[in-house]
């Protein structure tokens, strides 16, 4: 089996030093240079442009799996990262004990998030395919249908999608109008009825 190619995108020199030391100590890991295509990219969230860097690197290297290093676990931020294609997160205080395990998980096409984040993500995904709804909903509206059905508040949805609460309310009003319903409860009932009929 070939070594797992890992590239560091670390903003802070100390984080880069610690991570490169941990990765270099593993026989089945190989740090790669800028021009090489990594299997795993380790991104430092302390970089003020981490989302832009993640987006650009993922655009150029779509097969690369992204792992983010963070100060703490913020569930909404983790869910935003999941929506943008990130496969895992490790807090700075857990780098020594979790970094190598997380990289191996990602290399095996698994995710590495705290249980509460993974559970929220699974609940959001469990709502079923929004395409089962009538009404000519846009892609953004179908995304919001899934989140509304997951019993998230408008504020939580706004945080996940990086939009204002007012935008979420606007989309919700359009959804209700297109589906000729008046509430989240009716939306959930409609989705359950459609799932049962399928």
The CA distance from 151 to 33, in Å, is: 44
pLDDT in tens, 49-77: 888 888 888 788 888 999 999 998 888 88
**Residue 183: other Cβ atoms inside 10 A:** 10
State the pTM of this model: 0.65
What percent of the chain shows pLDDT beyond 70?
86
Q: What pLDDT does 133 receive? A: 55
Q: What pLDDT does 191 receive? A: 60
Residue 196 banded pLDDT, cuts 50, 70, 90 = very low
The CA distance from 56 to 42, in Å, is: 14
Residue 183 banded pLDDT, cuts 50, 70, 90 = confident
Answer whether residue 193 shows pLDDT above 60: no
pLDDT in tens, 9-43: 887 888 889 999 999 999 999 999 878 889 999 99
For range 154-182, the mean pLDDT: 85
Answer whether residue 122 shows pLDDT above 50: yes
Q: Tell me if 44 sits within 8 A of 10, measured CB to CB.
A: yes
> What architecture does CATH give domain 4-114?
3-Layer(aba) Sandwich (3.40)
Domain ranges of the chain: 4-114, 127-197
pLDDT in tens, 133-167: 556 778 788 888 878 877 778 887 887 777 889 99
The CA distance from 62 to 56, in Å, is: 10
The CA distance from 112 to 82, in Å, is: 11
By CB atoms closer than 10 A (0-12, 13-18, 19+), residue 126 is exposed
Helices assigned H by DSSP within 31-138: 50-60, 75-83, 95-107, 115-125
Q: What pLDDT does 65 receive? A: 93
Dihedral sign for Cα 146, 151, 154, 159, please: negative
CATH of domain 127-197: 1.10.10.10
Return phi, psi of residue 83, to 5°. Answer: -60, -25
């Amino acid at each position: 089996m070939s070594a797992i190619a890992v590239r560091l995108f670390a903003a802070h020199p100390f984080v880069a030093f610690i991570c490169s030391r941990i990765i270099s100590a593993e026989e089945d890991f190989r740090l790669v240079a800028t021009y090489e295509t990594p299997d795993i990219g380790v991104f430092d969230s302390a970089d003020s442009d981490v989302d832009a860097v993640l987006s650009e690197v993922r655009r150029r290297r779509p097969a690369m799996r992204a792992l983010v290093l963070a100060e703490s676990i913020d569930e909404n931020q983790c869910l935003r990262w999941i929506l943008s294609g990130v496969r895992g997160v490790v807090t700075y205080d857990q780098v020594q004990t979790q970094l190598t395990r997380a990289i191996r998980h990602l290399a095996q096409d698994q995710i590495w998030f705290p249980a509460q984040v993974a559970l929220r993500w699974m609940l959001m995904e469990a709502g079923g395919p929004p395409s089962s709804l009538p009404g000519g909903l846009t892609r953004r509206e179908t995304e919001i249908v899934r989140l509304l059905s997951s019993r998230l508040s408008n504020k939580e949805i706004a945080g996940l999608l990086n939009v204002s609460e007012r935008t979420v309310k606007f989309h919700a009003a359009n959804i209700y109008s297109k589906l000729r319903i008046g509430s989240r409860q009716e939306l959930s009932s409609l989705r359950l009825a459609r799932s049962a009929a399928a």
